[in-house]
Amino acid sequence: MADGSRFPRLAPPFAITGAAAGWLSAGLLSNPLLGVTYGEIKPLAALGTMLIAAVTGVLLKKLCLGWRYSYEIETPNAETRPTSDRTGYHVLVVLLAGAAAGAMVASLDHASDGTLGGAASGVFSAILFLPVCLLILSSARRAQRARLGSIVAGSDRRAVWGILAAALSAATLLAALDWPAAHLEETEKPIPALFILLATALVTLVVLAADLRALKRAQTALAPGLEAENDGPAPLVDLAVPRVDLGLGDDLASRLARSAAAYRGRDRAVELVQGNPEQALGALRRAVRRGVTSLALMGVILGAHGLAQSSFVAKLYAEARCNTGLPALLCQTYQAQAIQSR
């Protein structure tokens, strides 16, 4: 059974995911090419989906942890996944949450296609954001591996937010279709998507900076001069001696101050380091690489938003709109506006 004390809270990241999913999905469905709903529903969709997603995060955490009874006294094993922690269950919960959010928004907004149509739109949106949810669960599950308060444990908990930021930055591409539509004055420019992209980049920078500091701290603690616990007589250890917990592995090493006495003198530990150096440094380096890769991905996504504002994409969009049966005069107007696109 998973260890609840090490498992991160899922309600906050899922609430943020829900708000972004509600806004971006409503924007996509309200694009004139799809025409499923209208743009004014986006704030309501973001709020409703955020609330339901927060509850979904609480439920998914419970599924990941399993049910523990009061008579069970053994220590939970973080490596053991309960029977309730299955991908199929998670997918089902996310899809049901999407249907509930869509039905609720449609009911509150008195949508013409009714709650059933809203539920269908909600399931569609949930499918689009299902990879984001599964990535969050995977990173949260991995956060159990390290000891609480250790260097790697801190990095693993930050990874939940780093992976969330990377996934949400990719999700902003759902709004890319609104750039050519805005040029044809069919909808507003998807400026909120750029704000989401900027926010995810800032979060990624903060996480990357923290991971770099953690890696530097671990490397400093593992600098030459450490001696393993079994390399000789046990040194004297003061309870006030600084301890560095890498988080992975049970190795114990110490940095010693040599005794000045030649006879019956014992070395004194001035620093203790717990954990396996290779495992810990490997985990921290992977975290740093993940942050750098995420920033590079966000740069590509920003470029995609820029490309969506080009005349080439505007022409393609105008042609697609004309193929939906628009009047010839309106098509000519759209094509002329597309040519004037920067």
Residue with tokens 């009047």: 327
37-93 residue pLDDT tens? 776 788 888 898 899 999 999 999 988 887 765 545 555 555 667 788 888 999 999
pLDDT higher for 230 or 262? 230
Provide the β-strand partners of residue 255.
226, 271
Q: Side-chain half-sphere of 152: how many Cα atoms within 13 Å?
A: 25
pLDDT higher for 234 or 332? 332
Reading the block at residue 301, the tokens are 């996504």
pLDDT reported for residue 236: 47
For residues 142-169, average pLDDT:
89
278-288 residue pLDDT tens? 999 999 999 99
pLDDT higher for 145 or 288? 288
Res 265 pLDDT > 60:
no
Q: Which of 14-23, 53-62, 307-316, 325-334 has the lowest mean pLDDT?
A: 325-334
Vertex 21 angle, CA 17 and 27, to 5°:
155
pLDDT reported for residue 340: 58
pLDDT reported for residue 322: 78
| Strand 243-245, strand 226-228: pairing | unpaired
81-115 residue pLDDT tens? 778 888 899 999 999 999 998 888 878 766 666 67
pLDDT reported for residue 105: 80
For residues 325-341, average pLDDT:
60
pLDDT band at residue 21 using 50, 70 and 90 as cut-offs: confident
Could you tell me what percent of the chain has a pLDDT over 90?
A: 29
Residue with tokens 């309501």: 44
Q: Is 251 left (phi over 0), alpha (psi -120 to 50) or beta?
A: beta
Res 293 pLDDT > 60:
yes
In the chain, where the domains are located: 11-220+278-295, 222-276, 310-342
Instruction: Please give the C-alpha separations between residue 73 and each of 7, 118, 153, in angstroms, as whole numbers.
Output: 19, 46, 24
